[in-house]
Amino acid sequence: MKVEPIPESPACTIDNTLVISDLHLGIERSYKEEGIRIPTQTKKIKNQIKKLTKKEETKKTVLLGDVKNQIPTLSWQERNEIPKFLRDLSEFNEVIIIPGNHDGKIQRLLPKNQSNIQIKDNRGIVEKDIYLSHGHTWPKETAFNKSTLLIGHNHPIITFEDELGRKHDEKCWIRTSLKKEKIFDKYGEIPWNNPELIIQPAFNPLVGGISFNSDIKNFLGPLFNLGAVNYRDMVANLVDGAFLGKVERLDKVNQGKKDSSE
C-alpha cells in the first residue's frame, strides 16, 4: 500500500482513506489580530474535502494534526465552527483525528452524539503498512518497522526567486530517508524496515510554511532535532505533480521562512 498524493491538492489517499494535514481552522482570527480581515474559510475547506471524498471514493478521513489553530486556548471562531465542521465531515466519512501541537482541548470541540469521529494517540496510528503521525512528538517504535512514515507539521514549501529578487512559495511534498543509527540511539535496536519519510503539505491555503530550499534549516519536530532525517536524500514534488528532484540541488534562497502557525 502506498501514499498517493492527489493531483492539484495537498491531500493524499492510502487505499480508501483520505489524509488531510494542518487545517488550522480559525487562523483567520490570528490574521485579524494583525489587522488583516479575511472571511472564514471553514465552509470552503469542508466543501473541498467533501469533493475529494466523493472523487476518490474514500470511506475514512484522517486529519493528520493541527485541526485547530489557536493555542493554548480555544477561540470563539473555533468553538463556533469546528463542531459543525467535524459533524458534517462525519456524515460522509468516518473521521479520525491524530492530534497535533495546536490541538489542545480538541475533545471539547467534538459534536455531541457522534460515534463516527475518533481522537487517537498523538504519537500516531498505523494505516495498512503506513505509520501516520503529525510530527511534533516521538512516534511509537513500531513506526520504523513500516514501509512509510507520513507526517505533517512542517508545512513544506519550495521558494522560487526571480532575477529581481521577488520570492514565490509553492506547497510541496517531501520524500526522504531516515538515519538508522540515529533512530537506534533513541529507541535501541528495534525492528527496522528502513521506512520512507513523507512530509505532507498543509491543506489550509492561508498558512505559510517552511522553505526546504532555504539556506536556513529550521525544520520542526524531534526527528529533525535528533538529526535523524537525511537532508541529502530529500526530493520534492509540487502539489501540481511537478517533480523537482533533489532539494539540495535547487537554488537556495537567502532567507528561511518560518510560520508561527506550525
Domains of the chain, with CATH numbers?
Answer: 4-249 (3.60.21.10)
Helix axes 76-90, 42-56, angle to 10 degrees: 20
Collapsing DSSP to helix, strand or coil, 42 comes out as: helix
CB 68 within 8 A of CB 25: yes
Collapsing DSSP to helix, strand or coil, 238 comes out as: strand
Distances from the Cα of 96 to the Cαs of 137, 185, 259, 260, in angstroms?
18, 31, 25, 25
Separation between Cα atoms, residue 190 and residue 184, nearest integer Å: 7
- Predicted confidence at residue 30, as pLDDT, reads 83
- Predicted confidence at residue 257, as pLDDT, reads 44
Alpha helices for the chain (secondary structure H): 27-33, 42-56, 76-90, 180-187, 222-225
Helix (H), strand (E) at residue 5: strand 4-5
Q: Which three cell numbers, joined as nine digits, stand for 181?
A: 543509527
Residues of the chain with pLDDT under 50: 256-258, 260
Separation between Cα atoms, residue 26 and residue 237, nearest integer Å: 28
Distances from the Cα of 215 to the Cαs of 43, 73, 176, 200, 253, in angstroms?
37, 34, 18, 21, 6
- Predicted confidence at residue 33, as pLDDT, reads 82
pTM for the full model? 0.93
Closest CA to 16 of 62, 74, 71, 72: 62
- Predicted confidence at residue 251, as pLDDT, reads 78
